[in-house]
Amino acid sequence: MEKLGNRSYLRTLCGLAVPVMLEQLGQILLGTVDTYFAGQIGDNAIAAVNVTNLFINLIATSFASLGVGIMVMISRALGNGDEKAANRILRQAVLAGAAIGLGFGCAGTFLRRPLLTLAGARGEILSLGQSYFSIVCAPIVLMCLTIILANGLKAAQNTRSSMAAALAANAANVVLDALFIRLGLGVFGLGLATTLSRLLNLGILAVLYFRPITPLRLGRSGWRLELPLMRELLGYSGAVMLTYLCARLAILVHGALILRLGSTFYVANSITTQIDEYACIPSAGFEAATATMVSNSIGAGRPLDARRYTRLAFFSNAACMTGIGLILAVFAVPLAGLFTKTAAIWPMVRQILTFMVFFNWTSSLSHILTSAVQGTGDSKYPLWVTLAANILMRLSLGYFLAYQLHWDLMGIWIGIVLDFLMRGILLGRRLRRQFRKLESAPVQE
């Protein structure tokens, strides 16, 4: 009976996770395609697009945190059978997203030159970067609203529709990239393709909310600002945003530490990270599924279900990441050869990818438990755990192992693994206490 029950839970998780994985794969491939078309213009175009995307990705982090907030809150409301509350949360999130997106768009467009200069852009790269930045950043509100509506569908356990919208937009972006490059629009054309594809994605998602595929609706009424609900939404999402920003900043500092080892180590780490992204695709799906089902189960008063979903998500994600990691490690040298012809880098890439085959489970543990704790409504504890683990393990211990013990790049990656492990242990203890508290609480009739 236990096995039969697990299969049912696993089907639910995979039904939610797989479309998100495909959506994530589409995003990774899209980045590769954009880089390819930028390369048709020239090396400076690649640099201009990449330096602009440093800031766009940072903005996207803020939007993603709002998306996590509505996913958890809507899932809990739907689990409690309160569709009216779920729709109120959705409308408040759209209002907040519109204001935040417009604010970022105006500020980014106005500050594009100093921001790009701060990132080191000069000459032609700065000129191309400003052109691309303007057309991508000014309407960045499209990205914010897209993330909100997509996460609303995920909260309603309809990940297939959000996946279909994203893949359609990605396909349109590829076609428009090719068309605009052929028309000679340069990096401005690449930015225009990105903006138009985001508009298409948002339009498809908006239409879906007027169809009977979800209990969530975007009607004409109910758009009045509700300050208590807005404060709750932004308070939860703010802690998630800071958690994401801590991780982003740690990666930036991390990159500086690796660069001090030498350009060869930096290139090897960049290639390894790019390849390892494919092993992390399952994590994006299972994280979304975990946050959705934990919050939904708790809202429905079923903490035992939340515990089981978390456990199965961890083991399933760890197995997928390990399997993909093993394939990547076996083909590490030819894969590295696609990025660089410097043979000295290939064995370093193979060494790190082989090492991660044995420790991808720590990444799964950290990310799944972060989503589970956030799914219980606690967004602050993961922030402090992430901050502490980043400072103590990823940065401090990684520096010690790389520079003091001269373990070089391997020392850096051991620090990463211990960062994941520390977060997993602390979050696991927190989650057990929360589940025990919920399980011991009297059931309300």
82-133 per-position pLDDT tens digit: 999 999 999 999 999 999 999 999 998 998 888 888 767 788 888 888 898 8
Tokens of 53: 């995307």
Say if CB 382 and CB 374 are below 8 A apart.
yes
At residue 208's C-alpha, the angle toward residues 204 and 212, to 5°, is: 165
Q: Per-residue confidence at 159, pLDDT binned at 50, 70, 90?
A: confident
pTM of the model: 0.82
Residue 441 has pLDDT above 60, yes or no: yes
Mean pLDDT of 427-438: 93
Residue ranges of alpha helices (H) inside 220-302 are 227-261, 263-276, 281-299
225-252 per-position pLDDT tens digit: 899 989 988 888 888 888 888 887 787 7
Residue 255 has pLDDT above 50, yes or no: yes
Predicted pLDDT at 445: 44
Q: Per-residue confidence at 5, pLDDT binned at 50, 70, 90?
A: low
Instruction: Return the higher-pLDDT residue of 5 and 38.
Output: 38
**Which residues, 6 or more positions from 44, have their beta carbon under 8 angstroms from its beta carbon?**
124, 125, 128
Residue 24 has pLDDT above 80, yes or no: no
CA 342/CA 275 separation, integer angstroms: 17
Predicted pLDDT at 4: 43
Locus of tokens 């909100």: 148
Domain boundaries, given as residue ranges, for the chain: 18-225, 236-445
Give the amino acid at 73: M
161-203 per-position pLDDT tens digit: 888 898 899 899 999 999 999 998 888 999 999 899 999 999 9
Predicted pLDDT at 31: 66
The C-alpha R_g of the chain, in whole angstroms, comes to 22
Provide the residue count of the chain.
Answer: 445
